[in-house]
Amino acid sequence: MSEPVIVIGAGGHARVLLDVLRLRGVEVLGVVDNDCAKRGQTVGGVPVTGGDEEVQNHPAHGVRLVNAVGTVGVSPQRSGVFERFKQHGYRFAEVIHPSATIAADAVLCEGAQIMAGAIVQTGCRVGRNSILNTRASIDHDCEIGDHVHVAPGVTLSGNVSVGEGSHVGTGATVIQGVRIGRHCLIAAGAVVVRDVLDGVGVAGVPAREVGV
């Protein structure tokens, strides 16, 4: 990644991403946040220069964006940031921590974020704007859709698929071959042993359906 970046969002996830960008020697032009109270502050040592409107001061061809609006649960906020700026011609950078282990044939789509200690095994695909958070591990041939958050410490066994917009909570485990649908919520610590249909939330060991 050679182009300078602008970070969208100035919260906890921004600080995690700024650490990776620093480790990677990526030039950060600034952070923008829609919360006016954050303007003029610094996050991870970088100034918050304004809101999203600031981005348009930089032509799309000369900068990459980093989506630091995280997600907890199934929320359209993060995907909205990505799609809105894509409509204006901007491109998002992939952010990969140096300590992540990624198979040579793994496919990381635009804006994928792979955090410290994460493992991406052979045959995997991580969709656009998706987060593989700290120490998450996805085994061979996993298919992660767009706008998915695989939270810290998650373990996906081989051939697991996670549909667009789903959230797999901290420390959850999914056994081999399970298909998780779109916009699903897998609770922290759940052990998922059977498929999860679109829009369904599951929790517990073994995981059972709960209201989302």
Q: Considering the complex, what minimum distance in angstroms separates the CB of residue 59 from ligand JB2?
A: 18
Identified binder of ligand JB2 from the candidate list 5, 9, 130, 145, rule CB under 6 A: 9
Question: For 85, what's the count of Cα atoms within 13 Å in the CB-facing half-sphere?
Answer: 31
The mark string for 51-90 relative to ligand JB2 (x by CB under 6 A, - otherwise) is: xx----------------xxxx----x---x---------
How far apart CA 109 and CA 100 sit, in angstroms, is 16
| Subset of residues 19 to 48 that bind ligand JB2, contact rule: CB under 6 A | 32-35, 38
Query: In a 10 Å sphere around its CB, with 0-12 CB exposed, 13-18 middle and 19+ buried, how is residue 176 labelled?
Result: middle
Q: Is 97 in the site for ligand JB2 (CB under 6 A)?
A: no
Q: Considering the complex, what minimum distance in angstroms separates the CB of residue 77 from ligand JB2?
A: 5
User: 81 vs 190, which CB is nearer to ligand JB2?
Assistant: 81
- Among 67, 84, 62, 3, which Cα is nearest to 31's? 67
> Which pair of tokens denotes residue 159?
């051939």
Angle CA(188)–CA(191)–CA(197) in degrees, nearest 5?
90
How far apart CA 206 and CA 189 sit, in angstroms, is 10
Q: Does the annotation mark 88 as catalytic?
A: no
User: 29 vs 32, which CB is nearer to ligand JB2?
Assistant: 32
- Positions touching ligand JB2 (CB under 6 A) are 8-14, 32-35, 38, 51-52, 69-72, 77, 81
Active site residues: 140
